[in-house]
Structure 1
Amino acid sequence: MTKVLLCVGNSMMGDDGAGPLLAEKCRAAPCGDWLVIDGGSAPENDVVAIREQRPDLLLIVDATDMLLSPGEIRVIDPDDIADMLLMTTHNMPLNYLIDQLKDDVGQVVFLGIQPDLVGFCYPMTEAVKNAVDQVYRHLDDWVGDGGFAALTSEA
């Protein structure tokens, strides 16, 4: 089974660096058999590389304002991203990226980490660092949605 982990975010923007921190952890100590891509703040630049892999599973991890407590993690249905008006800091909405890949990817799991502070040169908060560690620990034996709860409209 081919699995791609696309880590999204900007490490110079405080908690928005959750994705790049996860990519860094995976490079330092690989966890499971994931192909890890640090998509930074322009993950659309990695569409071709992901398509070439034709992964059975594409896991996208990004700091996403879901109106939850800082550090909370939720699985977001990729089909709901555009309708939910989720706030991210990227050049292009992630639903556009996912739409570009649907024909070349088996399953897409979008995992959002609720940020607290997002601003240029802010440090990453402990709540978000802990959430990144939690995601990292789940990678080795990832099944389905990794055991994370889905974001619901009640959130």
Structure 2
Amino acid sequence: MTNASSDAERTAKVLLCVGNSMMGDDGAGPLLAQQLADRPIYGWQVVDGGSAPETETVHIRELAPKLLVVVDATEMGLNPGEIRLVDPDSIGEMMLMSTHSMPLNYLIDDLRDAVDEVVMIGIQPDIVGFCYPMTPPVSQAVAALYQKLADDEWRQIPQLTAEGERC
């Protein structure tokens, strides 16, 4: 067998949740990972990447998912709690703010040969600071995103546009 898994062995959908639960709204990804651990959604495998998601690349490569959805609190210049699909190819160009040691576009580029499709979902944070609690708009957004995943309606999330939605 080669490095690539056969289609029968591949995981269909992996959700990579990114963020730091000790940093207020940056904990959106880990909160979603916890909700999925508590109430799994059929067909989705969750990976909690925490604040160093690059440490999960080997695991994700082993899963060889057909679809990888990366969820992270992302500064997009929107109202707190707004959710957007973010084109992974434009992450670097849009200079989206991240609190992680490695920019997500590098991580996504690294995984492209192991994954058929990569999608990023950003949740607009309000307060990102050490020991701050998550704000209600962001925790409500996480609950709404969980429901969209459960109802298989996540692809209906609006796309982040390059103009008019960023600072």
**Percent identity of the aligned residues?**
60
1:102 pairs with 2:112: yes
Per-residue deviation at 1:72? 0.3
Question: Which shows bigger deviation, 109-118 or 31-40?
Answer: 31-40
In 2, Cα distance between equivalents of 1:148 and 1:32: 20
**Map of 1:115 onto structure 2:** 125
| Residue 132 in structure 1 maps to residue 142 in structure 2 | yes
Give the corresponding residue for 2:68. Answer: 58
- Structure 2 Cα separation of the partners of residues 63 and 81 of structure 1: 13
Structure 2 unaligned residues grouped into runs of 5+: 1-10
Residue 150 in structure 1 maps to residue 150 in structure 2: no
Normalising to structure 1: TM-score of the pair?
0.96
Deviation digits for residues 93-131 of structure 1, max 9, x if unmatched?
000000000011011110000000000000000000010
Output the TM-score relative to the length of structure 2: 0.89
> Could you say what secondary structure the match of 1:7 adopts?
strand
Q: What is the Cα deviation at residue 31 of structure 1?
A: 1.6
Unaligned runs of 5+ in 1: none
CA–CA separation in structure 2 for the residues paired with 1:150 and 1:32 = 25
One-letter amino acid of the structure 1 residue matched with residue 94 of structure 2: M
Partner of 1:92: 102
Q: Is the 8 A contact 1:32 1:141 kept in 2?
A: no
SS at match of 2:120: strand
When Rg is computed on C-alpha atoms for both structures, the one with the higher figure is 2
Secondary structure at the aligned position of 2:122 is classed as: strand
Q: 2:152, 2:102 → 1: CA distance?
A: 28
Residue 121 of structure 1: SS of its match in structure 2?
Answer: coil
SS state at 2:77 partner: coil
SS at structure 2 position matched to 1:26 = helix
Output the CA distance in 2 between the equivalents of 1:23 and 1:9. 10
Partner of 1:46: 56
Retained in 2: the 8 A contact 1:32–1:139? Answer: no
- Partner of 1:75 in structure 2? 85
Task: Tell me how large the CA RMSD over aligned residues is.
Answer: 1.1
What is aligned with 1:5? 15
CA distance in structure 2 between the partners assigned to 1:49 and 1:146 by the alignment: 25
Task: Give the Cα separation in 2 of the matches to 1:60 and 1:124.
Answer: 20
